[in-house]
Amino acid sequence: MIASDLNSFYSEMGIDPKLAELGYKIEEDLKDRFRAIDKTAEYNQLKILKAMQDNRVSDVHFAATTGYGYNDIGRDTLERVYADVFHAEDALVRPQLISGTHALTVALFGNLKPGDELLSPVGKPYDTLEGVIGIKKTRGSLAEYGITYKQVDLLPDGSIDYDGIRKAIGPKTRMVTIQRSKGYADRPTLSVEQIGELISFMKDIKPDLVCMVDNCYGEFVETIEPTDFGADLCVGSLIKNPGGGLAPIGGYITGKTEYVDNAACRLTAPGLGKEVGATLGLNQSLYQGLFLAPQVVSGALKGAIFAARLYENFGFSVRPGSFDDRYDIIQAVTLGSKEAVIAFCEGIQAAAPVDSFVAPVPWAMPGYNCDVIMAAGAFVQGSSIELSADAPIKPPYTVFFQGGLTWHHAKYGILKSLQRLYEKGLVSL
């Protein structure tokens, strides 16, 4: 299609020609960064392809099992593929892991016993883990089982407080949870290399620590994963990066055999472990999603950088900046007003392939101390590898957005968000 046709299509899809033009210019500015992202995807594509070939993946692995799921060779082979991709000893990859929070919960409960202490050396973990750990009094939390928790916050400049960590590690410290992505917090995302340094520092102090990394939103952003740098366990959600948009449900736990087995005995039952768990016909989506994941993640990353650049252009503060190093797919844009946050989310929603006709509105979500607005028009409910945005309605009015199954959809969504700000008189083109 020639450029003028593309322009008129953007126009038909509600994008002002001046904005479409700015979009092309920004793509040009980001050419080198996009090339680097493509190289990472190329490497990760080969890594996954090799793991599939080495494990002789075949169409018999896509057959459905039911009931107990004994001898589900598709499931077992997929777990070998994950283990190889992460250069780990073993993996648990299951549709019965119903979310990232659940996968992390299973890894924690499987590897901690009463009297043990869990340490977070990088500050407060993801919101949903507060209940799991019992930071917030919650039924069934680790705290209720006599498992204590310590936290060492990052230093004001975002760096790791090594002195504080040295002091926090005691005789009871058994397990460490390290969150790679900033999630929706105001802190930098950690690189795999930084995580590796942190793990080796802690293991020098106490060699038998079980170091777990919450890898959500980080998979395939780099060519290395935390398991390449000393993590004993690496955990994530299949409706984020590694599911490639095709996995309809699931989570993974990969790492040392002993710790993966401990988690499996918690997920199913002691004595059953990894031997059971039917896959009900989902295997093909999990394989195919993993196969597509490097490409999908590259599109999401391009979208994040494009958004950073576009919004920088209009004077908004963005994190990370468009030329900063990037270790996850999340982009924060501080819009400064409630109206702008709502307009942004309306634009993302209007750009969706599913539910584009609904308007997102702020509401009082349980667990938040203010109204929250969410934009998502996803094929898989709640999938945040698909283009999605959410924001708490409170100062400084920052919206967090992520995903995009394809780069071109991410680009359109971001243009549409800015278009909506323009239509509401909040920016001028």
Ligand X SMILES: *Cc1c(COP(=O)(O)O)cnc(C)c1O
The CA distance from 399 to 383, in Å, is: 17
Beta bridge partners of 175: 118, 210
Residue 232 sits at φ, ψ, to 5 deg, of: -80, -30
Rule CB under 6 A: is residue 168 a binding residue for ligand X?
no
Tell me how long the chain is: 429
DSSP state of 228: G
User: Applying CB under 6 A, what is the total number of residues that bind ligand X?
Assistant: 12
Please pick, from the candidates 107, 135, 216, 414, the single residue that binds ligand X as defined by CB under 6 A: 216
Question: Shortest approach of ligand X to residue 216 CB, angstroms?
Answer: 3
User: Smallest gap, in angstroms, from Cβ of residue 33 to ligand X?
Assistant: 23
Sheet architecture: strand order including 317-319:
317-319, 331-334, 398-402, 388-392, 372-376
220 makes contact with ligand X (CB under 6 A): no
Beta strand extents in 241-348 (DSSP E only): 251-255, 317-319, 331-334
Q: Which is nearer to ligand X, 182 or 409 (CB)?
A: 182
Q: Which of 84, 90, 214, 225 binds ligand X (CB under 6 A)?
A: 214
CB of 274 to ligand X, least distance (A): 21
What share of residues in the chain are helix, strand, coil (percent, to 5)? 45, 15, 40
Give the range of 22-30, 162-170, 177-185, 267-275 binding ligand X by CB under 6 A.
Answer: 177-185
Site for ligand X in 58-117 (CB under 6 A): 99-101
Q: In the complex with ligand X, which residue's Cβ is closer, 346 or 386?
A: 386
Output 45 or 128, the one with its CB closest to ligand X: 128
CB atoms within 10 A of CB 300: 34
217 in contact with ligand X (CB under 6 A): yes
Measure the CA–CA gap between 107 and 99, rounded to whole angstroms: 12
Interface with ligand X (CB under 6 A), residue from 82, 86, 109, 126: 126
108 within 8 A of 142, measured Cβ to Cβ: yes
Shortest distance (Å) from residue 99 CB to ligand X: 4
Cα 140 to Cα 131: distance, rounded to the nearest angstrom = 9
If the CB atoms of residues 182 and 274 are measured against ligand X, the closer one turns out to be: 182
Contact footprint for ligand X (CB under 6 A):
99-101, 126, 128, 179, 181, 183, 214, 216-217, 237
